[in-house]
Structure 1
Amino acid sequence: MKSVAQILKSKSNQSVYTIAATDSVYNAVKLMAEQRIGAVVVTDGDKIAGIISERDYARKIVLMERSSKATPVQDIMTRAVIFVRPDQSSDECMALMTERRMRHLPVIDQERLVGMISIGDLVKNVIAEQEFTIQQLEHYITGERT
Structure 2
Amino acid sequence: MKTVAEMLRAKAQAAVHSVGPDTLVLDAVKLLAEKGIGALLVLKQGRLVGIVSERDYVRKIELLQRSAFGSKISEIMTSEVVTVGPRDSLQFCMQLMTDRHLRHLPVVAEGELIGLLSIGDLVKHTIAEQAGLIQQLEQYIRGEHP
TM-score range, shorter chain: over 0.9
1:85 aligns with 2:85: yes
Residue 103 of structure 1 corresponds to 103
Alignment of 1:23-102 (within 5 A): 23-102=23-102
Counterpart code for 1:95: Q
**Alignment length, in residue pairs?**
146
TM-score (norm. length: structure 2): 0.97
1:78-101 CA-to-partner distances (Å, cap 9, x unmatched) read: 000100011111110010001110
Match of 1:145 in 2: 145
Partner AA of 2:34 in structure 1: E
Shift of 1:6: 1.3
* Bigger Cα displacement from structure 2, 93-102 vs 3-12: 3-12
Please name the residue that 1:132 is paired with.
Answer: 132
Tell me if the contact between 2:56 and 2:77 (Cα under 8 Å) persists in the aligned partners.
yes
Give the C-alpha shift of residue 52 in structure 1. Answer: 0.2
Partners of 1:143 and 1:20 in 2: CA distance: 58
For the residues of structure 2 that align with 1:47 and 1:93, how far apart are their CA atoms? 22
Q: Deviations over 1:58-116 (max 9, x none)?
A: 10011111111210000010000100011111110010001110100000011111110
Structure 2: unaligned runs, 5 residues or longer: none
> Partners in 2 of 1:50 and 1:106 — Cα distance?
10
Does the residue aligned with 1:71 lie in a helix, a strand or coil? coil
Instruction: Give ranges in structure 1 of 5+ residues lacking alignment.
Output: none
* Helix, strand or coil at the partner of 2:140: helix
Contact kept? 2:51, 2:77, Cα under 8 Å: yes
Q: Hey, what does 2:9 align to over in structure 1?
A: 9
Matched AA of 1:128:
A
What is the CA–CA distance in structure 2 between the aligned matches of 1:83 and 1:132, rounded to whole Å? Answer: 29
Report the Cα offset of residue 32 of structure 1: 1.2
Aligned letter for 1:72? K
Q: How does 1:114-129 map to 2 (within 5 A)?
A: 114-129=114-129
> Displacement of 1:145 after TM fit?
2.6
